[in-house]
Structure 1
Amino acid sequence: MSRTDSRKVKAFPLQLVLIIPFTVQIFGAVGLVGYLSFKNGRQAVNDLADQLMNRTNTIVQQHLDAYLSIPHKVNQINADAIAMGLLNVRDRQTIAKYFWKQMQAYDLTYIGLGLTTGEGLGAARYDGKTVTIDDWSAKLPNNGRNYTTNQQGDRLHINNTFEYNNFKENWYTEPMKAGKPIWSRIYTWNSPSGAYITAATGRPIYDANQRLLGMVGADIHLLKLSEFLRRLDVSNFGQVFIVERNGMLIANSSKQETFFVVNDEVKRIKATESTDPIVKNTAKYIEQKFHGFQSITEQKKLELKLLKETQFLYVTPWRDQYGLDWLVIVSVPENAFMAKISANTQITILLCLAALVVATVVGYFTSSWVIQPILRINRASQAMASGNLKQTVNIGHIAELNTLAQSFNYMAEGLRQSFTALEKSKAELEDRVEERTAELKTALSELTRTQAQVIQNEKMSSLGQLVAGVAHEINNPVNFIHGNITHLSEYTQSLVQILHLYQECYPDEDPKIQALAEEIDLDFLIADLDKILPSMKMGTERIRNIVLSLRNFSRMDEADFKTVDIHEGIESTLLILQYRLKEKPDFPGIEVIRDYGNLPPVESFAGQMNQVLMNILVNAIDALEESFFNSQKSTPEKPQITIRTSAIDGQWVEIAIADNGTGMPEQVKNRIFDPFFTTKPVGKGTGMGMAISYQIITEKHHGKLDCFSTPGQGTEFRIQIPVKQ
């Protein structure tokens, strides 16, 4: 906008601009503080409730882990004692007294065992205080006896008789069917001392020979879980209850019971039918929200509007390794925390309003004092905008505005110097850009020309040096070993003859010599020695042949045309690649089919010709491996490479290398000899192998290199070169 246009814009006095935003900000801050105070209060309530419920939930889970592990520990102790032979299941008096002693140490309702013969016994606390002993035989009916006991656990007299069949009781049949420690069903019964709800555990028992003897079991109080929940701090204003996945109440922290008695029979209550309204409505809400209790697999944090009041809910699955799968539900009302926070929020809002009035008055007088230095800086900046860079601002009485004025003066001076330096740098930069651009163009052109040549030379030079060096280093020690094996064989035979002659001349053997001969198995040693030396000689001959093939492949001493045997080059290349052709644990190996014709000696660059054969064979191996793994190792035929050679009119030779892989599509085949074109992933192929091979055949040997491929039927490369160059 021009200077003339800027004067037409409606402007406001600086003092008004300072006061109004300041007042609006204060008003906004006051409102925001009030709002945040209320929000923070609610957040504090949520955090406090969350911490309380999380701590309560943790305490309940820890208690369940500890309390419900007791019967399984007792079963483990008893099963181990029987397996180790410390307890004899046939000694009924001793085992009954042993169970009686355990009942004194553990708060359980029953400890017992049932045998596969139908017999069994146990120690019970039916009235919640006195421990009695049950003992039953396998002969029905009226096969059981209940005994009173003295202070030492000895049987005194029979209380009553009963009929009992192990094979019809869940506490026996379920662990035996499972074959491992588990929880059986929850049992209820009524006695003169009150109602009982217990959970039964059981595990199979075996003797020292791992023969199944029966099972041991233990029952634990579940009503005592409710007593524990009522002692929690949260129970003073909230509710904690535990339900099974079918909705049946296990325990709760309210004074309402988890059961009722009808006709002297104890009936358990569903959480949705509880007489406690909080438990009932909470359970209904959870059941409706998650379509039952079965679908809850992780901890849930919920809010429920109940009786015009918000309830915070924690629903946590609890499981153990023996089959129990319960839900622990913690419910806490919001108003237990919110009353004091609401009062604090009101006080905060009143204080903020008072601060707003005071801040507005102070802002009016402060703006009048601040405006004058700002106006001076404004006038100086307008002058600089008009092109007059020689501007300075006088120092006032406000430290911050003085700093601003000094910064303005320093900026004005720096701006003047920058304009001068910028003009000089512009010319220098243009010259440097032109010079650098020319250098980059030259370097790029040179790099493009030499890159293909460098890759080819370095690849073959490194491979040739490595192969020739390895062949040379291996050849000397192998020749040394091979040459000495003949002498070693002769020396060994002479020593064996002397040994046989010694045994014939001195039939009375010395005991020490006889002991040593038996220790080293002299007869076997002599017999095996005749086999080892020929095997060693055969191995060194094999190594010498491999070294000769490596030297033929490298051809480091042949830089000019030379008459060579094409078949020898092919075999040397196959030997180098033998490790990739062999069968592997995840790959069936590649079969090489040789169909060699009668070829005359051919003039060629032997090393470069070997490079072409290597490139084509490596690509064929890669194609077969990729085809095998992409077809999930279900190819209908074994991977094969066919090598066919033939002479054409006595003037040319043809080498055809074909594989039975998946072949190449037309768009890939048309670019196979382009430099840097590759279908392999980054780092596995450079895209130069076939381009260099094409150059070697067509330019170096004045021949032809063609590719024939049909998708699904494999690929064939045909090399044709003249016999004479």
Structure 2
Amino acid sequence: MPLRVIFIVTVISQLIAAVGLVGYLSFRNGQKAVSDLASQLRRELSARIERELQGYFAIPHDINRLNADAFARGDLDVIGGTRGESQLYQQIVVSPTIAFVYCGSEQSGEFFGVLRSPDDGSVVVSYGNAANQYLRNYYRLDVSGNRTFLLWQADTPFDARTRPWYRQAAASERAIWTDIYIAFTTGLPNITAALPVYDRSGRRLLGVCATDVVLPEEFRSFLRNLEIGQNGQAFLIDRDGDLISTSTDEPLMIGNGEDAQPLPAHESSNELVRESAQYLLSQFGSFDSIRGAQQLDFKQSGQRQFLQVVPFRDRYGLDWLIVVVVPETDFMAQIHANNRNTLLLCLITAGVAIAIGILTARWITRPILKISQAADRLAKGDQVESISPSPVTELDTLASSFNRMTGQLKSSFDALRIAEENYRSIFENALEGIFQSSPEGEFISVNPAMAKIYGYDSPQEMIESITNIGEQLYVDPEKRAEFKSLFVNQDKVQGFEYRCYCKDGEIIWTQIDARAVRDSAGNILYYEGLVQDITQRKQREDELRKQLEELKIEIDHKKREEEVATLTASTYFQEVKQEMAEVNLDEFWS
């Protein structure tokens, strides 16, 4: 790969990696910051809703305690309906979340209370007792809480003791909350705080005082005014999963009148409320299983949603769930915009860096390229001109060194060329055979004298013809194995003699003086050495050997003749001979 490309790729890769890492870390930090912010926002909103609920639903019980005390003292005439409306009026005025304040008597079911008119919001006193046959009369109250004129009278008798709020409080013998129901006066879902009233002995039930809270209107306005991101929602559900209040505008009841039923949160028309409720059901199995505050997140339409659910309980029996859900996109919009700007800046930076990198690479690599090209020409043996100086100190030093090296190499090449010519002359004109052969049995090089010894017309012919020295050249193949075995423990072999075949099949004697050339690991790379034709010497040796044998035979024959002559000339031999002559052979054998 060209140095210029390596330089550019390296610089750009580092730049892109650095920018990408910074961008990634920035994005991840942004996400973490969003998660932290969403977590804080959910906690803050849940805490605000919880505080609002505590205040919202604590006031009715405080009012009930005041009215129960007044009822027990007689300041609040529940049975006769003659006095006490001014106290209830003040409670309605100072507590805008309260819809109806009233008490019922245990004596005959008498009723006395003050409510907000559902028509114009004016304050009205209502009572029913024996004086009006328990048909409740409704009077308008002035700004002082005094009755002014009769508005209307109910058509049917009313017995407070039959109402759910009365029965539940009397049966519990303590302050309670009723279930959510539809108020017959307003047609809206209500919840009632009820408190049984006893005489001063605490044994006899005098009646029940109660306060109505209209859920959707007052508390819903509070939820709507919460800043829950751009698209976040907050809603309140009971343990059955029915909506109690929500920051949306959808109706909280299904049906009309007495047949109206609370709307289940998982059937809400608002997608965020519906998906949040369904996610909670899938996570916990039922809303009743949620016992502590939970911070969760889930995907809706591919978008992450931050959710917090907090149980809300009080000592009077309320057990609801506060749910706050905020889409991640409400927080990520600015981060995504920053990411787009970062990406654009990264692209611009990368483009500028690439351009600068290319120009810088060209400026730096041009002298190096010249040196590289000059070195390539030098390796091919071409004439090389001196490299021009460079403004870069290191490259200028490199150019100067290259120029000096070129001069030294030229001198060395000239010397080597002379040495090579001398070596080639010796190699070509030597009277002895010179060879190089591989351990596998092939000739690497031979000189003309070597080829001539074996009867080949040229060295090339011999190299091409002999592919297995042990089989094609050696008369006795075991001598080739012996030759190779000698190099196991030594690097030189001298005076090794063997018989070999010539090109025409003639057998001659040769003598080799060779050495093994090894690599750094000690493995034999090849053999090289000198070969002499010793056939004539061998023949002379054979003739001398024969002459010596014949001379030895002749010497032995003469020696025996001399020994025989000496023996026959001895006195002992003559005496034996005389005795033998005198022996009668016939008598001897008989």
Give the structure-1-normalised TM-score: 0.43
- The residue number in structure 2 matching 1:462 is none
Distance 1:181 1:235, change over 3 A: farther
How many angstroms apart in 1 are the aligned matches of 2:290 and 2:136? Answer: 45
2:61 maps to 1:45: no
**Native 8 Å contact 1:134 1:144 kept in 2:** no
**Native 8 Å contact 1:243 1:327 kept in 2:** yes
Out of 209, 227, 233, the residue aligned to residue 227 of structure 2 is 233
2:106 maps to 1:112: no
**Native 8 Å contact 2:78 2:112 kept in 1:** no
- Deviation per CA, 1:276-306: give whole Å up to 9, x if none: 2221222112112211110111111122211
2:220 maps to 1:203: no
Out of 297, 303, 308, the residue aligned to residue 309 of structure 1 is 303
Out of 21, 26, 32, the residue aligned to residue 32 of structure 1 is 21
Q: Which residue type is aligned with residue 112 of structure 1?
A: Y
**Native 8 Å contact 2:81 2:128 kept in 1:** no
Shift of 1:352: 6.2
Out of 310, 318, 324, the residue aligned to residue 330 of structure 1 is 324
**Native 8 Å contact 2:124 2:141 kept in 1:** no
Out of 140, 148, 167, the residue aligned to residue 173 of structure 1 is 167
Distance 1:263 1:75, change over 3 A: closer
Q: SS of 2:197's equivalent?
A: strand
- The residue number in structure 2 matching 1:64 is 53
- The residue number in structure 2 matching 1:102 is 91
How many angstroms apart in 1 are the aligned matches of 2:342 and 2:279? Answer: 37
- The residue number in structure 1 matching 2:238 is 244
Structure 2, gaps ≥5 residues long:
1-7, 362-590
Distance 1:199 1:263, change over 3 A: closer
How many angstroms apart in 2 are the aligned matches of 1:347 and 1:256? Answer: 40
- Deviation per CA, 1:402-422: give whole Å up to 9, x if none: xxxxxxxxxxxxxxxxxxxxx
How many angstroms apart in 2 are the aligned matches of 1:231 and 1:109? Answer: 21
Shift of 1:95: 2.6
Out of 193, 196, 215, the residue aligned to residue 208 of structure 2 is 215
Shift of 1:24: 8.5
How many angstroms apart in 1 are the aligned matches of 2:239 and 2:148? Answer: 42
Out of 59, 68, 81, the residue aligned to residue 79 of structure 1 is 68
How many angstroms apart in 2 are the aligned matches of 1:63 and 1:176? Answer: 28
How many angstroms apart in 2 are the aligned matches of 1:210 and 1:33? Answer: 74
2:181 maps to 1:187: yes
Once the two structures are superposed, the pairs formed by residues 9-28 of structure 1 within 5 Å of their partners are none
**Native 8 Å contact 1:229 1:235 kept in 2:** no
**Native 8 Å contact 2:126 2:139 kept in 1:** no
Shift of 1:353: 7.7
Q: SS of 1:233's equivalent?
A: coil
How many angstroms apart in 2 are the aligned matches of 1:42 and 1:215? Answer: 55
- Deviation per CA, 1:149-200: give whole Å up to 9, x if none: 2414326334224222333321011111211111112121466xx6411110
Which has the bigger relative contact order, CA under 8 A and spacing at least 6?
Answer: 2
**Native 8 Å contact 1:189 1:266 kept in 2:** no
How many angstroms apart in 2 are the aligned matches of 1:100 and 1:354? Answer: 72
- The residue number in structure 1 matching 2:421 is none
Q: Which residue type is aligned with residue 188 of structure 2?
A: Y
- Deviation per CA, 1:308-344: give whole Å up to 9, x if none: 3221111111112211111111111111222321232
Distance 1:264 1:126, change over 3 A: farther
Pick the structure with greater CA Rg: 2
Distance 1:89 1:136, change over 3 A: closer
Q: Which residue type is aligned with residue 192 of structure 2?
A: A
**Native 8 Å contact 1:133 1:149 kept in 2:** yes
How many angstroms apart in 2 are the aligned matches of 1:110 and 1:97? Answer: 14
Identity of aligned residues (%): 33
- The residue number in structure 2 matching 1:401 is none
Once the two structures are superposed, the pairs formed by residues 327-366 of structure 1 within 5 Å of their partners are 327-348=321-342
- The residue number in structure 2 matching 1:255 is 249
**Native 8 Å contact 1:190 1:265 kept in 2:** no
Distance 1:327 1:216, change over 3 A: same
How many angstroms apart in 1 are the aligned matches of 2:215 and 2:257? Answer: 22
Shift of 1:347: 3.9
Q: Which residue type is aligned with residue 247 of structure 2?
A: S
Shift of 1:103: 2.5
How many angstroms apart in 1 are the aligned matches of 2:141 and 2:115? Answer: 14
Q: SS of 1:144's equivalent?
A: coil
How many angstroms apart in 2 are the aligned matches of 1:238 and 1:196? Answer: 26
**Native 8 Å contact 1:147 1:155 kept in 2:** no
How many angstroms apart in 1 are the aligned matches of 2:184 and 2:198? Answer: 34
**Native 8 Å contact 1:184 1:202 kept in 2:** yes
**Native 8 Å contact 1:180 1:204 kept in 2:** yes
Q: SS of 2:288's equivalent?
A: coil
Q: Which residue type is aligned with residue 326 of structure 2?
A: V
How many angstroms apart in 2 are the aligned matches of 1:351 and 1:161? Answer: 78
- The residue number in structure 2 matching 1:298 is 292
**Native 8 Å contact 2:79 2:105 kept in 1:** no
How many angstroms apart in 1 are the aligned matches of 2:69 and 2:184? Answer: 34
Give the structure-2-normalised TM-score: 0.52
**Native 8 Å contact 2:80 2:129 kept in 1:** no
**Native 8 Å contact 2:75 2:83 kept in 1:** no
Out of 134, 137, 147, the residue aligned to residue 129 of structure 2 is 137
Distance 1:85 1:44, change over 3 A: same
- Deviation per CA, 1:209-249: give whole Å up to 9, x if none: 33432221110110121122112222742111111111111
How many angstroms apart in 1 are the aligned matches of 2:312 and 2:258? Answer: 32
Q: Which residue type is aligned with residue 48 of structure 1?
A: L
**Native 8 Å contact 1:97 1:154 kept in 2:** no
Q: SS of 2:338's equivalent?
A: helix
How many angstroms apart in 2 are the aligned matches of 1:177 and 1:190? Answer: 23
- The residue number in structure 1 matching 2:312 is 318
RMSD over equivalenced CA pairs, Å: 3.5
Distance 1:114 1:344, change over 3 A: same
Structure 1, gaps ≥5 residues long:
1-18, 366-725
Distance 1:178 1:235, change over 3 A: farther
- The residue number in structure 2 matching 1:269 is 263
Shift of 1:114: 1.7
How many angstroms apart in 2 are the aligned matches of 1:27 and 1:333? Answer: 32
Distance 1:103 1:23, change over 3 A: closer
Distance 1:264 1:207, change over 3 A: closer
How many angstroms apart in 2 are the aligned matches of 1:65 and 1:317? Answer: 12
- The residue number in structure 2 matching 1:706 is none
- The residue number in structure 2 matching 1:537 is none
Q: Which residue type is aligned with residue 308 of structure 1?
A: G
Distance 1:190 1:113, change over 3 A: closer
Shift of 1:263: 6.6
Distance 1:342 1:97, change over 3 A: closer
Would you say how many aligned residue pairs link Structure 1 and Structure 2? 345
How many angstroms apart in 2 are the aligned matches of 1:293 and 1:195? Answer: 28
Shift of 1:46: 1.6
Shift of 1:117: 1.4
Q: Which residue type is aligned with residue 278 of structure 1?
A: L
**Native 8 Å contact 2:125 2:141 kept in 1:** no
